[in-house]
Structure 1
Amino acid sequence: MLLLLSACANVLPQHLKNAPYSQPHQTSLPKFSDAPLVQLFEQKQQAHNRISLNQPIQSANLPMDTAMPKKLPNLRGLINERMAERTGEAADSAVYPLSNGVEAFAARSALIKHAKYSLDLQYYTLQKGLSSRLLLREVVIAADRGVRVRILLDDREQLGRDKEMLVLNAHPNIEVRLFNPIKRYRSNIVSRWMVFLSNLSSLRRRMHIKMWLADGVLGITGGRNLGDRYFNAGDADNFSDMDVLLGGTVVDKMQAGFDDYWNSEQVMSVDAFDSQHIDMRREQISQMIFSTSKLTQLERVSRHPYLQALKDTEQEMLPIVLSKVTWGQVEFLIDPPSKINHYPDPAHISLSEDGEIRMDTPVFDNLIRAMSQAKKEVLIVSPYFLPGDELTQFLINLHNAGVRITILSNSLQSNDVPVVNGHYDYYRDRLLQAGIAMYELRGYPDVPAQPQWRHPIFSIKGSRTALHSKVVVIDGQTSFVGSMNLDPCSVTGNTEVGVLIQQPAFAEQMRQLFLTQLDPKYSFEMRQNQGKTVWYLGAESNLDETQTMRHISGTTLKNEPGSLWRKLQKYIGTWLPEHYM
């Protein structure tokens, strides 16, 4: 089946598609009580009024720049009313963790299939591969039935793919926009990189956000971009990552955050870079990476276990998930698009005399505020961990105040960006010397030879696993899940997104997953031995008297695990400016 277009070219008037990119789209999305996603979400809030997922979906034309009728019912009022009956609190939101890559993919696919009015996708990168083909096929099918689709991508990761983006954009119900794009000399890789390097200070600042919204009712955010490695579909390596599926009042704020970016001055329509005729592009649709009909037989065979696992997971995905959500106070955090214009190179984090640390950016400052209120425990997962002197001292101060801190990051063996480890060692060793517990993910977890699709940390024997989730758990009460690494690029350069979740049951889920990741099958425990850092690999693990996970009965590795090539990249990293990491 061809992914891209055709017969529905008349769904919107042609002049709407030809409008200049500077014209804003509607900045608010009303909630439709007849949308399948609304009904599914309300099904969880009410014990009755079940609906069938197989009911036909009516076409609903939603022009991209036309305001919604105000007479339609307001979903927030409906949700608040149901939740007040359920919990006595009208501001709660629903949250469900997506730690497994197959389930994370299936959740996105389910949201596409049941969307009736709108799909909004905002991502740092949309990579080529099977998972992207499958998702985009469903996106185009949704657009064919009248769903308005807005796709906002960071430009750097899409360089060289204007033609593909323009093919998508040619659909009358789909528009693709790019954040902080290179505006000239995009035609070949040499000119693109020359422009990028000559404007490194501004063009290195990226939109690192990952957000998926359907009908303004349900949303997904967290660490995953769109690509095979994020959904456990990679051949050579995969990411251990974390997303959350959200519903309720928090989704209104997510929708507003998307609209702010969509209409910001940092964003341009991909149409601005159109140097070909649409008709010429349509003749080549079947050759686009978006077409699943062109998968080779070899690819079909090699992917079969994943496709079968996906098929099994997608069955009744939303009803099952909505029966398992937890309810709590969820604070949505998003950096403004103007963040990329505000800070010089390098930007500095301020640490006051009383230990307060701030950056004047919503995601970082609110996370630090929550961490500073910790009384007992802070668990941190950060794949690229370059905290800088100020944040390092902040963590040491917390530790000295009696807060138990445990940090999990990538080892040189697992890191997909080994140059980061060039500066990482300095901060790791300082924290270890202060008594803070630190672990590094093994590149090749000791798991069975067969794919374990639902295992907490995915791997196929012989394939590499890299940490990519960004999670903080505070006192077993508060959880942060988002896109922000604790490194200079995320904190001072890129725009980020995240949620602070006040829900003990959800925090316990995150805590147990964290402790699982510390198991010797998955991680090295970092220790100091006569002033030197060593990698300790236990035969088993348990909680010590301070409730810190420790490896026992194991082996001490004095030489850092990792290939010679990785060690060379790490050495190169020591010569690169830290604030570019």
Structure 2
Amino acid sequence: MNRPPTPAYRVGRWLPALAALLARAWLRGCASLPPDVAGPVSQALAEPGATLLGQLAAARRPGGTAPGTSGYALIDSANLAYSSRLALTQGASKTLDIQYYAIHGDHSTAQLLREVRAAARRGVRVRILLDDFNSTGKNALVMGMAFVPGVEMRMYNPLPGGRGSTALRVLGSLHDFKRMQHRMHNKLYIADNAWGITGGRNLGDAYFGTADGSNFVDMDILAVGPVVQQMSASFDRYWNNPLAYPVQSLISAEELRTLRGTLAPAGAPAPGASQAAPRPPEAAARAPDEAPPALPAAEDLAALPLTWAPGRLLVDEPLKLVPELNDTYTEDTVVDGMLSLMRGARREVLIVSPYFVPGEQMMQVFAGMRRRSVRVRVLTNSLASNDAPLAHAGYARYRKDLLRLGVELYEMRALQGQNLDRTVFGSGAGGSKASLHSKILIIDGRIISIGSMNLDLRSQLQNTEIALVIRSRALSAKAAAKIEDTFDDSVWKMELTPEGRLHWRAPPGAAFSDATRDPDASLGLRLMINLLGPLAPDEML
């Protein structure tokens, strides 16, 4: 009788292939990025008032409104997140500027990019700036937009090497680990330099509430008026930066066609060699009888309620990622701006941050607020709802100290199995789990900040970030009401027992119970956090 192979046999059998794979990844990673590939310098539309969107912006401004104020609308549902971006895309007549950390190659993005291509065909100049880190596998096919006439696309801070696998690309870049960690996390969607959107969302099914599994809970802000020019100026600084590489310098149309062929589902034809450019991604593979989720029509911008208030944009400098290249770089960051706002709080600070790793400086700010009797409430992910468990490990180190300071901590439930409305704090149609992704700061019920930044050391030290800070009691109250609804039925409130142990308190009448350890998290996940979490420094989580 033949004996089954031993573990040592299995390792020995696969070791040569694994070694070859690792060597290939290393060699690809060690390859240099192409030199002297700076694209032509370009700027935002100089006269947005001459466009239809610019004229609509002027028409929406109430009489007597101060010249420096702008109009804002909270994008507080997944449907509105998609429909508002679609409206800007269809309404643009001159320029469309799109800047994101991640654009996923899935159904909702395919539909949105189809409208972007239609805008380019009618003469709109399209610029797409994308952080390079997530552009592998199916997501790399988004780079096909660079080969569409009328569309320019650049990748920020790219990594060398192939795009078939994120893991292999990371492995191949370990020799330049510090640079690999620095990412452009900004999010902007701007039409005709007249209307713009920023906030926490990337582009993809999970952000528009249509993913089959987990969906992200998020909030954006739509702006119209002078602050949009600040958003465009920020886009221009990043677009014209030496770290922004034209896609054509990194990958060819033929290489994208080959990659698409390797990713095509069984039986599906690969793109023909006669194509002039690779097709941008279409819907993710589905069963033949399964219809893709319905997406909303474009929002009516003329009817969308707007709140007019003073505001300003906070944005990190592009060379925050490589300050050694810029003698004029300053250390003030978007997160530093959030800390400055908190230092000025008088009554209450309400924080929503999916990845919350305070660090020493932030803990000092919290301690200062509590000495002034400022109420501090923080909503973040529970271990079960967090899509980045190691980030939760960094937060877990601070829970007891925060509670001892008097900071009120709330952890969001994963919401498994619930069929909630597709709102900013709902799981989305078809989704079985929600993961908090909103980044909101409300000071004294009168100042609100919405942006891409988390209150963690990665956002402060590693990534570039962006945020809109608006002085408006109306917007602050609307956002706070959404958050308060979550406190009522979707979160645990953290407490310390007299013995100094953590306790998760469910809201009165909730359909879930109290807990004495990270609720809804598997034993394996809890073990991983306890074993691996202490090994990583805060700024890496």
TM-score, length basis structure 2? 0.83
Q: 1:527 to 1:264 in 2, by over 3 A?
A: same
| Residue identity opposite 2:392 in structure 1 | N
Matches within 5 A, 1:360-439: 360-439=331-410
Q: 1:136 aligns with which of 109, 113, 120?
A: 113
8 Å contact kept, 2:342–2:365: no
Q: 1:371 to 1:144 in 2, by over 3 A?
A: same
Q: 1-side partners of 2:252 and 2:408: how far apart?
A: 55
Q: 1-side partners of 2:423 and 2:395: how far apart?
A: 31
Would you say how many aligned residue pairs link Structure 1 and Structure 2? 485
Matches within 5 A, 1:488-499: 488-499=457-468
| Residue identity opposite 1:326 in structure 2 | T
8 Å contact kept, 1:331–1:499: yes
Q: 2-side partners of 1:188 and 1:539: how far apart?
A: 46
Q: 2:42 aligns with which of 26, 44, 48?
A: 26
In structure 1, the residue matched to 2:534 is: 574
8 Å contact kept, 1:31–1:217: no
In structure 2, the residue matched to 1:72 is: none
Q: Secondary structure at the match of 1:338?
A: helix
In structure 2, the residue matched to 1:336 is: 317
8 Å contact kept, 1:185–1:192: yes
Q: Secondary structure at the match of 1:415?
A: coil
8 Å contact kept, 1:444–1:461: no
In structure 2, the residue matched to 1:283 is: 272
In structure 2, the residue matched to 1:164 is: 141
Q: 1:189 to 1:252 in 2, by over 3 A?
A: closer
Q: 2:495 aligns with which of 527, 541, 548?
A: 527
Q: 1:191 to 1:294 in 2, by over 3 A?
A: closer
Q: Secondary structure at the match of 2:398?
A: helix
In structure 2, the residue matched to 1:558 is: 516
| Residue identity opposite 2:302 in structure 1 | P
Q: 1:32 to 1:461 in 2, by over 3 A?
A: closer
Q: Secondary structure at the match of 1:518?
A: helix
In structure 2, the residue matched to 1:261 is: 238
8 Å contact kept, 1:343–1:492: no
| Residue identity opposite 1:464 in structure 2 | K
Q: 1:293 to 1:482 in 2, by over 3 A?
A: closer
Q: 1:111 to 1:189 in 2, by over 3 A?
A: closer
8 Å contact kept, 1:123–1:208: yes
In structure 1, the residue matched to 2:211 is: 234
Cα shift at 1:292: 5.4
Q: Secondary structure at the match of 2:301?
A: helix
Deviates more, 1:324-333 or 1:359-368: 359-368
Cα shift at 1:370: 1.4
8 Å contact kept, 2:458–2:539: yes
8 Å contact kept, 2:440–2:448: yes
In structure 1, the residue matched to 2:96 is: 119
Structure 1 unaligned runs (5+)?
A: 1-19, 46-82, 345-358, 542-552
In structure 2, the residue matched to 1:515 is: 484
8 Å contact kept, 1:117–1:148: yes
In structure 2, the residue matched to 1:248 is: 225
8 Å contact kept, 1:93–1:249: yes
Q: 1-side partners of 2:386 and 2:257: how far apart?
A: 42
| Residue identity opposite 2:272 in structure 1 | E
Q: 2-side partners of 1:280 and 1:400: how far apart?
A: 60
Matches within 5 A, 1:71-220: 85-87=63-65, 89-160=66-137, 164-184=141-161, 192-220=169-197
8 Å contact kept, 2:219–2:424: no
Cα shift at 1:563: 1.5
Identical positions, percent:
33
8 Å contact kept, 1:446–1:522: no
8 Å contact kept, 2:214–2:431: no
8 Å contact kept, 1:415–1:466: yes
In structure 2, the residue matched to 1:547 is: none
Q: 2-side partners of 1:412 and 1:295: how far apart?
A: 30
8 Å contact kept, 1:165–1:176: no
Cα shift at 1:26: 2.1
Cα shift at 1:459: 4.4
Q: 2-side partners of 1:166 and 1:338: how far apart?
A: 24
8 Å contact kept, 1:332–1:499: yes
Structure 2 unaligned runs (5+)?
A: 1-35, 259-270
Q: 2-side partners of 1:191 and 1:559: how far apart?
A: 35
Q: Secondary structure at the match of 2:478?
A: helix
Q: 2-side partners of 1:563 and 1:280: how far apart?
A: 41
Q: Secondary structure at the match of 2:302?
A: helix
Cα shift at 1:422: 1.7
Q: Secondary structure at the match of 1:392?
A: helix
8 Å contact kept, 2:210–2:428: no
Cα shift at 1:195: 2.7
Deviates more, 1:147-156 or 1:180-189: 180-189
Q: 1:461 to 1:529 in 2, by over 3 A?
A: farther
Cα shift at 1:576: 2.2
Q: 2-side partners of 1:164 and 1:497: how far apart?
A: 26
Cα shift at 1:317: 2.4
Matches within 5 A, 1:284-299: 288=279, 290-291=281-282, 297-299=288-290
| Residue identity opposite 1:474 in structure 2 | I
8 Å contact kept, 2:142–2:280: no
8 Å contact kept, 1:445–1:522: no
Q: 1-side partners of 2:446 and 2:365: how far apart?
A: 21
Cα shift at 1:283: 3.5
Cα shift at 1:539: 2.3
Q: 1-side partners of 2:431 and 2:250: how far apart?
A: 42
Q: 1:469 to 1:37 in 2, by over 3 A?
A: same
Q: Secondary structure at the match of 2:148?
A: coil
Q: 1:125 to 1:403 in 2, by over 3 A?
A: same
CA-to-aligned-CA distance 1:273-319 (integer Å, 9 cap, x gap): 2345599787366984533599764441x52xx43xx14xx3x5212
Q: Secondary structure at the match of 2:322?
A: helix
In structure 2, the residue matched to 1:325 is: 306
Q: 1-side partners of 2:199 and 2:424: how far apart?
A: 19
Q: 1-side partners of 2:348 and 2:45: how far apart?
A: 40
Deviates more, 1:249-258 or 1:287-296: 287-296
